[in-house]
């Protein structure tokens, strides 16, 4: 690829900024100063900017603990997005969230520029489990567990695969429950609609795992960590 694309992809700067660095004579490939932004470079080449090595990494993976009030989108004119939570040096070209969490849903969200992995994790036939923890207005009981396990058909005709519901706590006096639910789909507002179909309401919702990934207990809301592909596809 061209050296200006290589450096722009590695967030050294925009194409225009990279051109200025090249003009200053501080970009080198294998020890030789670059004269033109059109120079071709391979991933195996040794690239430096002002003496500092810039190693090429094609794909990047970030595990974010999404806070409330943030959109699972790459950009928005008026509201913060999950991309805006990344440090500037980590906003690599093509980074997108894998699937979506609603604006008021928190927890595990993977961000990557690896389109194939994105497909692998989201394709319905791949059966990637997702586990959520929630607080519910309403008392979930054994009948709720059986209803979810049997597979539901929502009021609009949407058919859902069986879901595994675990009741963590019930408070009959306050008409609330705490639950965990495992699903293999990611339909629009799916968990909220499922509980709505049995006369309950989701008050708080957090995703705690997706496939092989589990949300680290010490990762605070709005924080993220970088992963390797092996961490995701064990």
Which residues belong to the active site? 102
Distance, in Å, from the CA atom of 59 to the CA atom of 73, rounded to the nearest integer, reads 19
Q: Both ends of the chain: CA-CA distance in Å?
A: 31
In degrees to the nearest 10, what's the CA dihedral of 70, 14, 113, 103? 10
3-class DSSP state of 123: coil
Residue 114 has phi, psi (to 5 degrees) of -90, 95
For residue 53, list its beta bridge partners.
48
Distance, in Å, from the CA atom of 213 to the CA atom of 221, rounded to the nearest integer, reads 16
Distance, in Å, from the CA atom of 220 to the CA atom of 199, rounded to the nearest integer, reads 32
Distance, in Å, from the CA atom of 84 to the CA atom of 71, rounded to the nearest integer, reads 10
Measured from the Cβ of residue 210, the count of other Cβ atoms closer than 10 Å reads 23
Distance, in Å, from the CA atom of 170 to the CA atom of 218, rounded to the nearest integer, reads 27
Burial class (CB in 10 A: 0-12, 13-18, 19+), 40: exposed
Indicate the DSSP class of residue 177. E
């Amino acid at each position: 690829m061209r050296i200006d694309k290589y450096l722009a992809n590695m967030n050294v700067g925009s194409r225009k900024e990279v051109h200025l660095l090249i003009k200053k004579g501080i970009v080198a490939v294998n020890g030789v100063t670059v004269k033109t932004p059109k120079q071709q470079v391979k991933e195996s080449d040794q690239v430096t900017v002002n003496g500092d090595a810039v190693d090429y990494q094609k794909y990047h993976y970030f595990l974010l603990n999404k806070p409330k009030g943030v959109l699972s989108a790459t950009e928005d004119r008026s509201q913060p997005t999950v991309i805006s939570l990344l440090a500037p040096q980590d906003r690599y070209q093509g980074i997108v969230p894998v699937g979506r969490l609603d604006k008021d849903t928190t927890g595990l969200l993977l961000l990557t520029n690896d389109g194939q992995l994105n497909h692998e994790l989201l394709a319905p036939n791949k059966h990637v489990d997702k586990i959520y923890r929630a607080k519910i207005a309403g008392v979930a009981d054994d009948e709720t567990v059986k209803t979810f396990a049997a597979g539901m058909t929502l009021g609009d005709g949407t058919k859902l695969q069986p879901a595994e519901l675990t009741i963590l706590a019930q408070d009959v006096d306050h008409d609330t429950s705490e639950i965990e639910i495992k699903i293999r789909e990611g339909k629009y507002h799916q968990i909220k609609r499922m509980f709505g179909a049995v006369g309950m309401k989701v008050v708080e919702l957090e995703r705690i795992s997706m496939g092989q990934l589990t949300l680290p207990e010490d990762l605070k809301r709005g924080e993220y960590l970088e992963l390797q592909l092996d961490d995701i596809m064990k």
